[in-house]
Amino acid sequence: MPLLRLVGVSKRYRREPPPAVDDLSLSMEEGDLLALLGPSGCGKTTTLRLIAGFEDPDEGQVVIADRTVAGAGRAAVPPEQRGVGFVFQDHALFPHLTVEENVAFGLHRQNGAHRRARIGDILDLVGVATLASRYPHELSGGQQQRVAVARALAPAPSVLLLDEPFSNLDADLRGQLREDVAALLRATRTTAVFVTHDQEEAFTIADRVGVLNHGRLEQLAAPETVYHRPATPFVAQFVGAAEFVPGVVTAAGIVTEVGVMPNPDALAAGRSVTIVLRPDDVSFEPRVDAGAVVVDRQFRGSEWLYCLELASGRRLYSSQSSTATVPAGTRVEVRVDPVHVVSFPAG
């Protein structure tokens, strides 16, 4: 039985299209970790707010633990009665309350002894037990984030929602906290949805990733599927770098200017398609009379990212180990060897 279900949910702020959230459906089992990924303005935060009840959908339903909390013609259940936890981008810790009091804030229905025990447990769990009597302004950004998670988890919500929870933190702190929070959510078997525009973040934490664009859910799948088998050109481009190369399907495979690709989807011969090439699909060999040339390169630490210009003028990117270096201007022979050939109808 799914714990959280969105059925055809739409939300409009303005009369003009596109809607902020457009006919979005998804479902989550207990313990799932779902990342909503997309550029700013794609509707991912609105989706989170619709689940929390800070906004009401114009169409569709939100179902949490078998209870329809919004839609289906009834008055929406207010946020305080939905049993969802929310971790805000700005933490939103109450400045007039200590860490302990912040965590206790949502435990107002529990009796004293039970509440004290719960506060102690949860502060231990997120690793801020020593900070219990501090005020939020006395904490570092990372500590505030931990307290925010503790506060949201304390009432044991059925779903935890996190809105870009790590975006306010320094890069090195972000990595550490990300791992800690992910471990915590798995250990407590918390069902959680978090919103991010950082694909690395989505990939490292989530079981499944939903890619949103203009309010539409373009793909919802495991991280490796989203990367290797993008469902739409938008997903291909947004998740990892991608170049699109036109090709024609023949009996021998898909013929492109960089070679003949396999045709695993058994597309009918004669169709025009666009195939997706990622930098790690493309390699090259220096050769004096070759048609392509290295026009630029960027050092990326463990690898070089080369920009290659083909004889046709089309540019492709290729990432190569940084042990060897090929200078710009070198003529090269391009080889393409995709692990997964992804093609879309040309158009």
Partner 1 sequence: MAAGAIVALVAVPLVVVLLSWREPAGAVWAHLWRTQLAEIVGNTVLLAAGVGAGTLVVGTTLAWLVVSYQFPGRAIFEWALALPLAVPAYVIGFVFLGVFDYAGPVQSALRGWLGPGARLPELPSGLAVAIVMTLVFYPYVYLLARTAFREQGLATLEVARSLGRSRAQAFREVVLPMARPSLAAGASLAMMEAVADFGTVATFGHRTLTESIYRVWTGMFDRVAATQLASLLLLFALGLLALERALRRRRRFTQSQRRGPAAVPVRLRGLPAAGASAACGLVLGLGFVLPLVQLTAWALTGVRAGEFGRDFGHLLWSSFVLAGTAGALICAVALALAYAARLRPSAGVRFATQFACMGYALPGAVIAVGVLGPVAWLALTGSAVAVLYAYVVRFLAVGHQTIEASLAKIPTTFDEASHSLGVGTTATLRRVHLPLLRHGVLTAFILAWVETMKELPATLLLRPLGLKTLAIEVWERTSESLWVDASLPALAIVLVGLVPLYLTTRLSPGLLR
Footprint on this chain of partner 1 (rule: CB under 8 A):
52-54, 78-86, 88-90, 92, 94-96, 105-106, 108-109, 151-152, 155, 157, 161
**Minimal distance, residue 161 CB to partner 1, in Å:** 8
The smaller minimum CB distance to partner 1, of residues 53 and 60, is found at 53
The smaller minimum CB distance to partner 1, of residues 13 and 94, is found at 94
What tokens does 310 get? 């083909």
The smaller minimum CB distance to partner 1, of residues 97 and 326, is found at 97
Give yes or no for a contact between 165 and 194, defined as CB atoms under 8 angstroms apart. yes
**Minimal distance, residue 290 CB to partner 1, in Å:** 53
The smaller minimum CB distance to partner 1, of residues 159 and 341, is found at 159
Greatest distance between any 2 Cα atoms in the chain: 81
Give yes or no for a contact between 222 and 46, defined as CB atoms under 8 angstroms apart. no
Smallest Cα–Cα separation from 214: which of 6, 7, 11, 3?
11
**Minimal distance, residue 80 CB to partner 1, in Å:** 5
**Minimal distance, residue 4 CB to partner 1, in Å:** 15
The smaller minimum CB distance to partner 1, of residues 54 and 344, is found at 54
What tokens does 189 get? 């078997």
Q: Where are the beta strands (DSSP E) in the chain?
A: 4-11, 21-28, 33-37, 59-64, 67-70, 84-87, 159-163, 192-196, 208-213, 216-221, 243-250, 253-256, 259-261, 272-277, 282-286, 292-299, 303-309, 315-321, 331-336, 343-345
Residue 335: helix, strand or coil by DSSP?
A: strand
The smaller minimum CB distance to partner 1, of residues 88 and 244, is found at 88
The smaller minimum CB distance to partner 1, of residues 106 and 338, is found at 106
CA atoms within 13 A on the CB side of 50: 34
For residues 252, 256, 259, 260, the Cα torsion angle rounded to the nearest 10 degrees is -20
The span from the CA of 84 to the CA of 64, in Å, is 9
Rounded (5°) CA angle 225-184-7 = 50
The smaller minimum CB distance to partner 1, of residues 107 and 226, is found at 107
**Minimal distance, residue 220 CB to partner 1, in Å:** 24
**Minimal distance, residue 91 CB to partner 1, in Å:** 8
What tokens does 239 get? 């998740």
The smaller minimum CB distance to partner 1, of residues 101 and 207, is found at 101
* Residue 338: its H or E element: none
**Minimal distance, residue 150 CB to partner 1, in Å:** 12
**Minimal distance, residue 94 CB to partner 1, in Å:** 6
CA atoms within 13 A on the CB side of 140: 8
**Minimal distance, residue 85 CB to partner 1, in Å:** 6
The span from the CA of 6 to the CA of 50, in Å, is 10
